[in-house]
Amino acid sequence: MEMLWLVVLGTLVVGYFALAGFDYGTGLLLPFRGRDETLRRMTPFFLGNEVWLVAAIGVLFAAFPRLEGELLSGAHSTFTLVLAGLVLFMAAVQLRLWSWLVFTGALMVSVGWGLFLAHLLHAPVVVALVMPALFALHGWVFQTRRWTLFPVTALLCALPIPLAFSSIDVAGLMAHTDTLGLLAWVAIPIIPLVVVLQWSIVAISSR
């Protein structure tokens, strides 16, 4: 049961960074590319990409309650930065507000995740720049449609934070098996369902 939930959480976190990574990359590249075309390419993916984070935090809360509180409150100001960036970025992208607001939002989110990575690894603050660099690369691959490279940059974006997590011993931080068993009935069918539906959104909008 513990393994199962690590896999569920891992899938959601990897899914979030692999997908939302190119959103943030797109935001970071926006000042250097044609605005309308760049945003139009991202549009059908956008909402779907960001909700992976919502699902990941939900699972973190229910399945790893004693990890979630420590993790988030232990990096309080970093998450304030990530969330403030997310608010600006999501509002600016969806409403087609000014490009610089999209860029600023994306920069705040990426630097925020970078700072979180540095925090997890107890590394110097400079490490924070890794995430914006990877996101920008991933965004560039997505925007220039280099699909053979896409899985590579997706993994590069997705892996640093889950790998940094693997140093944490989760035994004793997880919920009781009664709670985990109940949630498994919901989480396991829903994730593939959402993947299929999100894929349909992309397929329909490119018709």
Partner 1 sequence: MSAVDLARLQFALTTSFHFLFVLLTLGLVTLLVIMQTRFTITGAPVHERMTRFWGRIYVINYALGIVTGIVMEFQFGLNWSGLAIYAGDVFGAPLALETLIAFFLESTFLGLWIFGWGKLNRWVHLALLYLTALTAYASAFWIMAANGFLQHPVGYRVEGNVLRLDDFSALLTNPTFNSALMHVIFASITVGGVFLTGVSAYHFIKRTPEVDFFRRSLRMGVITTALATPSLIGAGFAQFPIIAKFQPGKSEATPWIGAPLGFMILIGMTLTMVSWLTLPLLIKDAVIRMRFPLYLMVIGIPLPFLAAIFGWMFREVGRQPWLIYGLLRTEDAVSHVDASQILLSLIVFTSLFVLLACVDWALIARAVRRGPDVTPAPVSPLVVTL
Say what angle helices 150-158 and 2-29 make with each other, to 10 degrees: 110
Does 73 help bind partner 1 (rule: CB under 8 A)? yes
Residue among 94 and 144 whose Cβ is closer to partner 1? 94
CA atoms of 24 and 107, how far apart (whole Å): 8
The CB-side HSE value for 183 (13 A sphere, CA atoms) comes to 22
Residue of 88, 111, 118, 156 that binds partner 1 (CB under 8 A): 88
Q: Is 15:52 a contact under the CB 8 Å cutoff? A: yes
Residue among 101 and 121 whose Cβ is closer to partner 1? 101
Does 187 help bind partner 1 (rule: CB under 8 A)? yes
Does 197 help bind partner 1 (rule: CB under 8 A)? yes
Residue among 44 and 162 whose Cβ is closer to partner 1? 44
Give the DSSP letter string of the chain.
-HHHHHHHHHHHHHHHHHHHHHHHHHHHHGGGS-HHHHHHHHHHHHHHHHHHHHHHHHHHHHHSHHHHHHHHHHTHHHHHHHHHHHHHHHHHHHTT--HHHHHHHHHHHHHHHHHHHHHHHT--GGGGGHHHHHHHHHHHHHHTT-TTTHHHHHHHHHSHHHHHHTTS--TTTSPPHHHHHHHHHHHHHHHHHHHHHHHHHHHHHT-
Span 100-139, contacts to partner 1 by CB under 8 A: none
Does 57 help bind partner 1 (rule: CB under 8 A)? yes
Span 30-49, contacts to partner 1 by CB under 8 A: 43-44, 46-48
Does 144 help bind partner 1 (rule: CB under 8 A)? no
Residue of 4, 6, 51, 159 that binds partner 1 (CB under 8 A): 51
Span 148-177, contacts to partner 1 by CB under 8 A: 175-176
Residue of 6, 62, 149, 159 that binds partner 1 (CB under 8 A): 62
Nearest distance in Å: CB 20, partner 1: 12
Binding site for partner 1 (CB under 8 A): 43-44, 46-48, 50-51, 53-55, 57-63, 65-66, 68-73, 76-77, 79-80, 83-84, 86-88, 90-91, 94-97, 175-176, 178-179, 182-183, 186-187, 190, 193-194, 197-198, 200-201, 204-205, 207
